[in-house]
A and B are shown apart, each in its own frame.
Chain A
């Protein structure tokens, strides 16, 4: 389905990542946003507060992030595509209700413009230290999808991808920007509406008695949704439930319910996977990076190649679910993986786990506040080749 032209600000823009993300959401068909202001994500909400009254959307600033997350889940079951925006401290507050969104299999997009943490940390400076939290932040066993853009243009394009993924898989999608990408101003080209592909919500249109809000068969099909007010009289709960949505509190029901939430994403990892590979074949060292660090590491890779080292790169666009099978396969073919990230080791732990000891994993940590010095990444690459 093509995007609705009313929401698409076609043309060449010179805007920052936050504004581009807002435009991407509107182009993707999002018409509801509930948020709470937090640096450095506030501009996304500000853009949307300005644009929504002109395109027929509803923006509400809630009293805190907990309310924001609860409100968007309720709104999603009223029909529209929904989004919220926050940063580290707000992300932590939203965790309980992210679990509710996962349990109710509600499509929604949660934008986290990462900043230095923990706690209040560095409100105006970049970091990438919430990556593990995106995957494990809420309690219990579950899976979500997380994306990482590396430019304002990608903030526009990948927000649309985020909405499409969340509607396809009925799962919350974490849009993990960082403050650098969010506050970086670059050229963003917004195409014509009919060049933008969006996935509409799959709605059920049959008889009330035959409707089941969930499909636990394990056949990879996702049950269609309805919206409240159409007379389907569904019941949804955060408690462990059966396919009708009724609470069923025993371990068999728990097994079926939770396995479905996990398998839905993990068994379809290859369909969800999005990454950019460069010169992987025959590489001695592969640099695995995401977000702003992927741009910084380009300089290090360039220098390493000039020095004769065969360096390949993998830029993760979908970070969760992690491309485990790919990394496992590559581990036996390279001397080292180099993982630069603006945190003290998060995705590098995943890479190390998947390498299963077949190769070295060299972390290039950075506590946050600025981007890496490319020389540090170059040093790590040279160490990997030895």
Chain B
């Protein structure tokens, strides 16, 4: 879909947000959450945890939309999301994104 102008009802749209919490000592570095996050919120850290695994860290601040796919797909119960405050989409951001 491409917009030539911002949709008129854009102010009624609420984008859900989530707070991602990562238990780095439980993580086994499988990278499922990083691979399958639909908003590319996570990336692999350069650091190791105590067991020697690289764990996920949050790359894009505020980008998580609380879909909880990471929480579901993590085999180690090491990551979960809590609901945060929803926001309205940034009009310029929408136009810029579509223009690419």
Direct A–B touching, Cβ under 8 Å: no
Point out residues on B near A: beta carbons under 8 Å: none
Point out residues on A near B: beta carbons under 8 Å: none
